[in-house]
Amino acid sequence: MRLDKYLKITRLIKRRTVANEACDQGRVLVNDKIARASYDVKVGDEITINMGQKPLKVRVLSVSEYATKENAADNYTVIEG
């Protein structure tokens, strides 16, 4: 799944266009490297989002095409932030 779509589905970023812009601006890192919105997210990846005062770092636990509000957070675990 594309990185921008994953960020939206897991509700880490509210809108896909905002996620896409964050990737274009270099605010999203995957495994400590700047990632493009088209990056293919895999289980075990560490995603760092630098938006706001404190960066948010999460580890991908699963990649699913759909997520409800209740189970969106089951797709990742917060490492820092």
Tens of pLDDT, residue by residue, the chain (81 residues): 999 999 999 999 999 999 999 999 999 999 999 999 999 999 999 999 998 889 999 999 999 888 888 888 888 888 876
- Start-to-end CA span in the chain (Å): 24
Sign of CA dihedral 62, 56, 48, 16: positive
Q: Where are the domains of the chain?
A: 3-80
Question: What's the confidence (pLDDT) of residue 81?
Answer: 67
Cα torsion 6, 62, 11, 1 to 10°: value is 10
CATH number of 3-80: 3.10.290.10
**pTM, full prediction:** 0.89
Q: Looking at this protein, which amino acid is placed at residue 70?
A: E
Question: What's the confidence (pLDDT) of residue 31?
Answer: 96
Residue with tokens 């957070």: 73
